[in-house]
């Protein structure tokens, strides 16, 4: 959380915005869209207190309403708790897809981590998710999504999924998110309880998988074939993907959007790996007392970092030195950004470089321009979308991440105004929407987008200098 820099809020930001013309009229009453108390999947006293406190300081009734609906959405609707082998077990679905993504589930609970220090029930739930992640990674480190039923059948892909695997799309960021959740939980609570032998082996499996996907010792064993007409849904060349030249970077067959990569060295995910490998090294040094493995993690992180600087810092004809989205090691680079995190916009959020970094600032200007093929501008909003939802779409996650990585109060206010104009009266965030007609949107129930918006509002509420409410 301290990685987000909100310095510069000397003036009122979006939490005090006057109602927009296209928003609800001033007389509109905003009734909660949360499930009835008895129907909520998980209830945290600390979260409820947080909602009440933050909401009381927001003067804009529509924004307060959106926060109340969105911030607890993960807990209200997607969390299933139990035990496995005598340990807490938490299964967190994405929303309208009844499966757990390593990425989404981590992002969904991240905003609650600061509260876990004082809320034992919340702490146990997050420990359960850490255990579930370790179990899932050991089941298949190349899988991105899993089923609650260990005998359940997922997609009919090739090679065949193991029972309990929903989808086997190899995404570097999936394993990074699992490391991130463990590290942030440990740093926030000081609790090392979840880091047992199963967890240790899962983390070592992540390291071995990353080494394999550097491709320095030969081709990867990973292949992915799906019978589909969607050209983004599987890598070419019999599921192997486009050629790469090994250079120290990690190959990712898929993006965080679950779309296949074009140039398989996906740079934001490699940046993410650098950060989380160093976090893992810190944990193995302090918790596991394994200095040798900690050193191996740090060495890999440095190798990947150097490769990022060597291969992904490229000259753009308009914006100067920027970070490429994808490269292949042959000298080719992809100039674009995708709203799904990790992406180029999120680099400071991930902790790879500070928001003031000049290359990042050049990259940010590129991302928010028509030079980015997946930046769209319409009557209701502007922002970054994804090939996943078509050529002309904007993602609420993209708008939220723009605000989370901004130190400009006017820019943040504009992001909040766009969010208010584009939730289509639902009171929730969506996957994507049409920038000219936000009523046309995808995924009514997308907990990651909801909770990330809640994270933004909590951070703005605690900004220093404090954002006037």
pLDDT of 462 over the 50 cut: yes
Q: What's 267-333 look like in SS3?
A: HHHHHHHHHHHHHHHHHHHHHHCCHHHHHHHHHHHHHHHHHHHHHHEEEECCCEEEECCEECCCCCE
The reported pLDDT for the residue numbered 465 is: 55
pLDDT at 72 over 50: yes
3-state class of 468 per DSSP? Answer: coil
User: pLDDT band at residue 27, thresholds of 50, 70 and 90?
Assistant: low
Within the chain, which residue ranges are assigned CATH 1.50.10.10?
Answer: 82-352
HSE toward the beta carbon, residue 55, CA cutoff 13 A: 19
Helix axes 120-139, 45-57, angle to 10 degrees: 110
Helices (H) and strands (E) in the chain, counts: 16, 15
pLDDT band at 267 (very low <50, low <70, confident <90, very high): very high
Question: Looking at residues 132-146, what average pLDDT do you find?
Answer: 98
User: What confidence score (pLDDT) does residue 463 get?
Assistant: 83
State the CB neighbour count (10 A cutoff) for residue 181.
Answer: 23
Cβ contact 192:164 at 8 Å: no
Longest distance between any two alpha carbons in the chain, whole Å: 66
**Are 127 and 92 in contact, with CB atoms under 8 Å apart?**
no
* Cβ proximity of 73 and 451 under 8 Å: yes
**pLDDT on residue 467:** 52
Q: Is it true that domain 82-352 has CATH number 1.50.10.10?
A: yes
Q: Which segment of 110-114, 278-282, 297-301, 460-464 scores lowest on mean pLDDT?
A: 460-464
Gap between the Cα atoms of 15 and 31, Å rounded = 19
Q: What is the pLDDT of residues 176-187, one digit of tens each?
A: 999 999 999 999
Whether pLDDT at 270 is above 90:
yes
Q: Tell me the pLDDT tens digit for each residue of 390-421.
A: 999 999 999 999 999 999 999 999 999 999 99
342 pLDDT tier (thresholds 50, 70, 90): very high
Find the mean pLDDT for residues 248-260: 98
Mean pLDDT of the chain: 93
* Paired sense of beta strands 87-92 and 79-84, if any: antiparallel
pLDDT at 12 > cutoff 90 = no
- pLDDT top residue among 2 and 416: 416
pLDDT, average across residues 437-446: 97
pLDDT at 16 over 70: no
């Amino acid at each position: 959380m301290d990685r987000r820099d909100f310095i510069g809020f000397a003036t009122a930001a979006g939490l005090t915005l006057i109602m927009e013309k296209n928003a609800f009229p001033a007389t509109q009453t905003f009734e909660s869209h949360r499930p009835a108390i008895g129907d909520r999947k998980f209830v945290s006293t600390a979260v409820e207190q947080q909602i009440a406190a933050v909401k009381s300081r927001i003067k804009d009734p529509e924004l307060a309403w959106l926060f109340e609906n969105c911030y607890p959405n993960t807990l209200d609707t997607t969390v299933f708790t139990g035990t496995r082998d005598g340990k807490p077990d938490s299964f967190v679905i994405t929303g309208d897809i009844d499966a757990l993504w390593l990425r989404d589930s981590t992002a969904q609970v991240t905003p609650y981590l600061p509260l876990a220090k004082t809320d034992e029930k919340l702490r146990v739930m997050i420990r359960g998710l850490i255990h579930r992640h370790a179990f899932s990674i050991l089941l298949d480190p190349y899988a991105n999504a899993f089923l609650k039923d260990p005998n359940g059948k997922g997609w009919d892909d090739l090679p065949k999924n193991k029972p309990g695997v929903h989808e086997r799309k190899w995404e570097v960021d999936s394993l990074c998110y699992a490391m991130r959740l463990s590290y942030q939980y440990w740093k926030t609570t000081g609790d090392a309880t979840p880091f047992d032998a199963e967890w240790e082996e899962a983390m070592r499996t992540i390291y071995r998988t990353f080494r394999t996907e550097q491709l320095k010792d030969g081709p990867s064993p990973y292949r992915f074939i799906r019978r589909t007409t969607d050209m983004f849904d599987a890598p070419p060349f019999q599921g192997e993907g486009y050629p790469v030249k090994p250079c120290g970077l990690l190959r990712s067959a898929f993006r965080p959007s679950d779309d296949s990569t074009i140039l398989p060295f996906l740079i934001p995910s490699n940046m993410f790996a650098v950060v989380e490998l160093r976090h893992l090294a810190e944990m193995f040094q302090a918790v596991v007392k394994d200095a040798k493995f900690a050193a191996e993690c740090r060495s890999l992180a440095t190798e990947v970092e150097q490769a990022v600087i060597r291969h992904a810092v490229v000259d753009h004809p308009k914006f100067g030195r920027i970070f490429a989205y994808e490269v292949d090691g042959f000298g080719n680079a992809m100039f674009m950004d995708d709203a799904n995190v990790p992406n180029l916009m999120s680099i400071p959020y991930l902790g790879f470089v500070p928001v003031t970094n000049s290359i990042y600032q050049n990259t940010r200007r590129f991302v928010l321009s028509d030079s980015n093929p997946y930046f769209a501008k319409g009557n209701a909003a502007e922002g970054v979308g994804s090939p996943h939802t078509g050529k002309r779409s904007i993602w609420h996650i993209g708008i939220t991440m723009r605000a989370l990585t901004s130190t400009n109060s006017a820019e943040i206010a504009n992001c909040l105004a766009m969010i208010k104009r584009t939730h289509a009266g639902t009171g929730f965030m969506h996957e994507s929407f049409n920038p000219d007609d936000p009523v046309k949107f995808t995924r009514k129930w997308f907990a990651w987008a909801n909770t990330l918006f809640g994270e933004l509002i909590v951070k703005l509420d605690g900004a220093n200098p404090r954002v006037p409410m």
